Homo-oligomer: A and B are copies of this chain.
Amino acid sequence: MTYKIAILGASGYTGAELVRLIAGHPSIEIAALSGNSKAGQSMAQVFPHLRHLDLPILTTIEDMDFDGIDLVFCALPHKTSQEVIAKLPKILKIVDLSADFRLRDPAAYKKWYGNDHAALDLQKEAVYGLTEFYRDDIAAARLVAGTGCNAATAQFALRPLIAAGVIDLDDIIIDLACAVSGAGRSLKENLLHAELSEGAHAYAVGGTHRHLGELDQEFSAIAGRPVEVQFTPHLIPANRGILATVYVKGDAQALHNVLQKQYADEPFIEVLPIGEHPSIRHIRGSNFCHVGVVADRRDGRAIVIAALDNLTKGSSGQALQNANLMLGLPETAGLMMAPLFP
């Protein structure tokens, strides 16, 4: 059986990544694409790398016909997303890639995103989309909220360690190197090639990055007490990939044991041998996440490093993985392609 899906916001990078992945999927077909500012254009015009595919023309959301659609991927900006989803037919399954349904607490949403939530009833039914930890809920859900790409990376490194009680919860530092596609296709001076190339700088320093809302929510829930990590993302001159270097207090071997056990049967999470650590160049374009643990020279301290592709495992790949579950398909369908290297 083939399921029909629509992608709202197909003219951005996560939308294009969804098309790339679904083009190779055995049981999902793209039935409709929206891209309001580029409505009327073909995908070949907006993304020439997709010109070999026979795809629907971009429409506005208003003009989209949802009859026969099984599932909608919503790759719109936050705030817009909640407004659009509130108006969609309730029969549709939805995977939202925005930040709108990630935070269960409306106050936390307002704190991090600045506006009141306009679809609180939908928020109540939304399931947090970190597949490896919410698998059963996702399979049963109608609305799944894709995670932040940085938040996903940090959680793959830390969730099992917090759950197992093997690290000090008051001294967790997450330092990230983030590739630029995570900022989307927006026209900003610091995303220009001439500015970013040969650059490297931190941003949202001091605990102001919005993905912290997710980490606070998830880590505190696991620990059963408030957990506030330190978190510094850095923009580096690369296009895809997040490398999270996480500093924790705990025994490296114990940490490695916990991670290895947790991820032993996961198809997409690879725990490296102890002492080894990953590079973003080895996961590019794939749905894999590599995790490594190294002991520090100081006893009782360890470094956990996780790498994934922000557009794939951190966003559109995760979204498809969740859609597979929601549609009753094999979780890995269309997602097993090897990374592109070099």
CB-defined contacts of A212 to chain B, threshold 8 Å: 297
Q: How many Å from the CB of A102 to the closest CB on chain B?
A: 19
| Partner pick for A285 among B228, B239, B303, B340, CB 8 A cutoff | B340
- Residues of A199-229 whose CB lies within 8 A of B: 199-202, 205-208, 212, 228
B187 touches A297 (CB 8 A): no
Give the distance in Å from the alpha carbon of A189 to the alpha carbon of B279 in the complex: 14
Q: How many Å from the CB of A149 to the closest CB on chain B?
A: 14
B206 touches A297 (CB 8 A): yes
Contact of A51 with B by CB under 8 A = yes
B206 touches A296 (CB 8 A): yes
Taking chain A's interface residues, is the majority helix, strand, or loop, or is none over half, making it mixed?
loop
CB-defined contacts of A197 to chain B, threshold 8 Å: 193, 197-198, 237-239, 342
Contact of A319 with B by CB under 8 A = no
Contact of A47 with B by CB under 8 A = yes
B278 touches A48 (CB 8 A): yes
Give the distance in Å from the alpha carbon of A23 to the alpha carbon of B336 in the complex: 9
Given A193-B192, A230-B301: A205 and B50 within 8 A (CB)?
Answer: no
B201 touches A277 (CB 8 A): yes
| Partner pick for A187 among B24, B48, B187, B245, CB 8 A cutoff | B187
Contact of A49 with B by CB under 8 A = yes
B200 touches A236 (CB 8 A): yes
Contact of A19 with B by CB under 8 A = yes
A24 touches B338 (CB 8 A): yes
Contact of A73 with B by CB under 8 A = no
Contact of A101 with B by CB under 8 A = no
CB-defined contacts of A187 to chain B, threshold 8 Å: 187-189, 192
Stretch with Cβ within 8 A of B (4 or more), from A64-72, A81-89, A169-177: A169-177
Contact of A27 with B by CB under 8 A = no
Interface centre among A20, A199, A288, A340 (most CB of B within 10 A): A340
Give the distance in Å from the alpha carbon of A228 to the alpha carbon of B300 in the complex: 13
Given A191-B193, A236-B237, A340-B20: A281 and B177 within 8 A (CB)?
Answer: no
Contact of A58 with B by CB under 8 A = no
A230 touches B199 (CB 8 A): no
1/0 per residue, CB under 8 A from B, across A245-266: the answer is 1010000000000000000000
A-B contact pairs, 28 of them (CB 8 A): A13-B194, A20-B341, A23-B337, A24-B336, A48-B279, A49-B286, A49-B338, A49-B340, A49-B341, A50-B339, A51-B282, A177-B177, A177-B236, A179-B200, A181-B342, A187-B187, A193-B195, A194-B342, A198-B198, A198-B238, A200-B279, A201-B277, A206-B294, A206-B297, A206-B303, A230-B298, A230-B301, A237-B237
Q: A23-B336, A202-B277, A247-B247 are in contact. List 19 more A-B contacts (CB 8 A).
A: A20-B340, A49-B338, A51-B282, A180-B194, A187-B188, A187-B192, A191-B192, A193-B195, A195-B281, A196-B281, A198-B240, A199-B280, A199-B281, A200-B281, A201-B279, A205-B277, A206-B295, A230-B298, A239-B342
